Amino acid sequence: MKPKVYITRKIPDEIVTKIEMECEIRMWNEPEIPVPREVLEKEIADAEGLFCLITETIDRELLEKARRLKVISNMAVGYNNIDIKAAKEKKIIVTNTPGVLTETTADLTFALLMATARRLVESSDYLRRGDWKTWSPMQLTGQDVYGATLGIIGMGRIGTALARRANGFDMKILYHNRSRKYQIENELNVKFAELETLLKESDFVCIMTPYSNETKGLISTRELSLMKNTAILINTARGGIVNEDDLYLALKKGTIWAAGLDVYEEEPISQDHPLLTLPNVVTIPHIGSASVKTRLKMAELAAENMMLVLKNEQPKNVVG
């Protein structure tokens, strides 16, 4: 008998077909609406495999309802949506999809950095509104990227890929990380710095660290006040790493110059969130890994990890 799996969102047909060869599938068939909690609670009771997204909160209470679950396969590199401790206690293996999204996410981070520095969204809106009457010397002037100082908080895979891009722009690169990365320091000409030094010296601060109790609210009023008033904060990691109320005030008061955000404390961010009223915020809807090729690779890897566990084989990416 094929193992039963539940897929929490409509995923590409070609991936469904692959899973179907080995599993009995039930799937939430909506592409844009997350599975309601009560549906998930019901579906998880019988499933042996769960293929889920970061939009699902897989907490202890939900896992209590899982009677046969062997694997939770998250189609993401981050897994802060899952209670890893509770899963472990229930001997449920948790997997994620690192590696395949590294370059795509680094691309987006650099794109967001450039868009924020050079006010691309604001400039486009300005033109479309019909405000562009003439060329003028200081009109829509931004910050230079080439040759500037980049501070990377979290030198993992994506942070390293970002540093590689920054080398092409002749940037001076500082990084802060729990442990020193000597090989990367040598290869990419990046320098380790204490967080405070990084914040004081960087023109761009990019958050590239996972979300955890340790990094929750890592960037709050004190940290923002250490930054230059011409500095730009970029967050493509997880929203909760930055205190959004503090960020709003810092941007409003000119403590820092601008922010580029792909992630938020609550997603989707509410339409009346004060951050959305500021012209110096470039805001995009958590699209770091969103290229066609990468999203297919992530779905494929998540499927593979889930099926490997269900065949009692070693999955490629175990977390926890």
Integer Rg of the chain from CA: 21
Nearer to ligand GLV, 97 or 143 (CB): 97
Which one from 20, 64, 196, 267 is the annotated catalytic residue? 267
Least Å distance between CB 101 and ligand GLV?
Answer: 6
The reply to whether 267 belongs to the active site is yes
In order of 10, 26, 60, 221, the CA distances from 15 in angstroms are 10, 13, 29, 45
Nearer to ligand GLV, 66 or 101 (CB): 101
The reply to whether 286 belongs to the active site is yes
Which one from 238, 244, 300, 304 is the annotated catalytic residue? 238
Which one from 9, 119, 176, 286 is the annotated catalytic residue? 286
List interacting residues with ligand GLV (CB under 6 A). Answer: 54, 76-78, 101, 288-289
The separation between CA 86 and the C-alpha centre of its own chain, rounded to angstroms, equals 23
Nearer to ligand GLV, 101 or 224 (CB): 101
CA-to-CA distance for 23 and 6, rounded, in angstroms? 10
Nearer to ligand GLV, 278 or 290 (CB): 290
CA-to-CA distance for 315 and 8, rounded, in angstroms? 20
Least Å distance between CB 76 and ligand GLV?
Answer: 3
The reply to whether 38 belongs to the active site is no
Of 204, 256, 194, 261, residue with least CA distance to 226: 256
Least Å distance between CB 161 and ligand GLV?
Answer: 14
Query: Are 57 and 81 in contact, with CB atoms under 8 Å apart?
Result: yes
DSSP SS3 for 219: strand
Least Å distance between CB 196 and ligand GLV?
Answer: 27
Query: Known catalytic residues?
Result: 238, 267, 286
